[in-house]
Structure 1
């Protein structure tokens, strides 16, 4: 089987969408499934305002349609709602081709944080985008319930995975910082709600790993915080394992891959009781609370072995298997509907 995945988010971006799609393709390959990507690579691009590292493809509908035809894929999955996703959706609908989508990002909340655009308007547009497909994949039960209540249809659960060997307690080192070390990893941007973590009165040291448009402002505002910039590979794994608590202040992420990376590293997590953290930490490994400071302090008492054990529920092989089931079923549903009309 050959699957084409269309995504506006791609390397060199470092985020949960890119990580998920890369690991998905690797896992599918081990199952004998070939994956091809239609990304901004090969097109002229322009930087997304406010996010210079994110490049938006300047493609035409005809170019995208030709790329889809040339791929000769058995299934098409549209991972993002950007320009490429929009044009791929249009091409699939015009050709009567079945396709699935996935809901990775809370664009209504992100947009509202920057511009006075009512969330209802953006949700209406997203609902129209996703409901045209044969299935919409979401990462957690709470997100599925929320979006169902907003009128989204054909929702399927598709969780995530974590590399238990890459993120491992054995990578723990002495960071040379006063303990306890409270860590946050992710894009340094307004939607990540970082001040909710940085303003906390906590003992020891607060550490932020990541890059983004808000970094200069936050470094100036919080000189006592250690901003490490972007870290990858072994360096990132070492920081995860070397923290005492991972603090996840976002209220808008749909999942939070960094949460399960922290858990796999044996680092307990403190977070607000919202979509993503509530689904992951409901089984243990951390502390949820509207008082994030108290949650962070309470997480110090969570056994590191319990955090590691919770991460075992997230396997990339299972993630790929579930994805494959959904895209196959969507094609069958599409064929059944066409034969009935």
Structure 2
């Protein structure tokens, strides 16, 4: 099967869309399929990406940094997208979080009568509300227009599927995200790293992710005031400077990746996610794979991942006191932390990317079969 993956983000970017697109390409290659990725150009402006992490060819289209958030690149109109679809002789087009480049990919695929699978990953409406204070309805009209044209839309969580259906998007099915249970595992817990992060033996409470307004990492401020606790924040983004002031005593480690990130995850005592706009929340799943109990907002993707009283605690979104209290409950009870961590690890054992890849191929095959039936 020849698949063109049109994605709004791809490595070296670090975010959920980029990671999922990379894993999709890897799964296709591992099964003998032939993917091609089309993505916005990096800051270096290269047309193709020779990054050894990429398992397949990558076509880069011109892009500009998003004003106020330069880590995000927005694709510009380009003939390279349509040319790539033709040159690759695509059987199917996979649209990863389509909004700008993905909308153009949908239009190009429609002109060429190619089947499309659109993967919903980003709460663009929530982002519009957070950054502009308006525009949520406009964003949803755009989302609906793009996804309604797809042969199938894949939602990562029950909450995301419900939102899509409520906003009039047809043909929605569930497709969650995988996790690398070999990379993220409890045995990577590192006593030397723990001593470096918490030299007085404090409990380590961690956040991993982008440092941006929609993530509301400032909700950890009250956790910083708890006795015997050290807050560790991993990631970068436009809020990094403000968070150094907002989180007194916290260790802001910046961007970490690969095995180093996996050691940090496994060395935490509690993982806290604070953002209310997650359609899935991959970092929660990585914490669970690492055997770490989770505190997360009771909204969006975490509702499918965290089982209260079993793998962690769900709190009202945006409630700093509830976050503090949940952390304190876990801090006071080592046995509870151990039980939640073990249950979290067990819960994700069957969610490998291989298993999720099988589900994706099944969606592709069903879409292609439906197209064949209609043609017949």
Interval containing the TM-score (normalised by the shorter chain):
over 0.9
Tell me, what secondary structure is at the counterpart of 1:39?
strand
Tell me, what secondary structure is at the counterpart of 1:246?
strand
Q: Indicate whether 1:256 and 2:287 are aligned.
A: no
Of 312, 321, 327 in structure 2, the residue corresponding to residue 296 of structure 1 is 327
Q: Indicate whether 1:148 and 2:165 are aligned.
A: yes
Query: Measured at CA, do residues 120 and 240 of structure 1 come closer, stay the same or move farther in structure 2, by a change above 3 Å?
Result: same
TM-score (norm 2): 0.85
Unaligned runs of 5+ in 1: none
| Structure with higher RCO (Cα < 8 A, 6+ apart) | 1
Q: Indicate whether 1:59 and 2:109 are aligned.
A: no
Q: State how far apart, in whole Å, the 1-side matches of 2:133 and 2:209 are.
A: 25
Q: State how far apart, in whole Å, the 2-side matches of 1:119 and 1:44 are.
A: 27
Contact 2:91 2:115 survives alignment (8 Å): no
Q: How far has the Cα of 1:338 moved from its partner? A: 4.9
Q: Hey, what does 1:313 align to over in structure 2?
A: 350
Q: Indicate whether 1:202 and 2:226 are aligned.
A: yes
Q: State how far apart, in whole Å, the 2-side matches of 1:275 and 1:151 are.
A: 18
Q: State how far apart, in whole Å, the 2-side matches of 1:58 and 1:129 are.
A: 17
Q: Hey, what does 1:222 align to over in structure 2?
A: 247
Q: State how far apart, in whole Å, the 2-side matches of 1:229 and 1:170 are.
A: 24
Q: State how far apart, in whole Å, the 2-side matches of 1:309 and 1:179 are.
A: 27
Contact 1:80 1:102 survives alignment (8 Å): yes
- CA deviations on 1:279-323 (whole Å, 9 max, x unpaired) are 011384212122222332334523232221122131111111111
Q: How far has the Cα of 1:116 moved from its partner? A: 2.9
Aligned residues: 338
Q: Indicate whether 1:285 and 2:311 are aligned.
A: yes
Q: Indicate whether 1:69 and 2:69 are aligned.
A: no
Q: Indicate whether 1:182 and 2:208 are aligned.
A: no
Q: State how far apart, in whole Å, the 2-side matches of 1:121 and 1:72 are.
A: 34
Unaligned runs of 5+ in 2: 42-46, 48-60, 317-321
- CA deviations on 1:26-55 (whole Å, 9 max, x unpaired) are 222222222211112423322111221222
Q: State how far apart, in whole Å, the 2-side matches of 1:234 and 1:127 are.
A: 39
Contact 1:269 1:299 survives alignment (8 Å): no
Q: State how far apart, in whole Å, the 2-side matches of 1:323 and 1:299 are.
A: 37
Q: Hey, what does 1:276 align to over in structure 2?
A: 301
Which piece of structure 1 moves more, 115-124 or 5-14? 115-124
Q: How far has the Cα of 1:80 moved from its partner? A: 2.7
Which piece of structure 1 moves more, 215-224 or 24-33? 24-33
CA RMSD for the aligned pairs? 1.8
Tell me, what secondary structure is at the counterpart of 1:166?
coil
TM-score (norm 1): 0.93
Q: State how far apart, in whole Å, the 2-side matches of 1:332 and 1:162 are.
A: 29
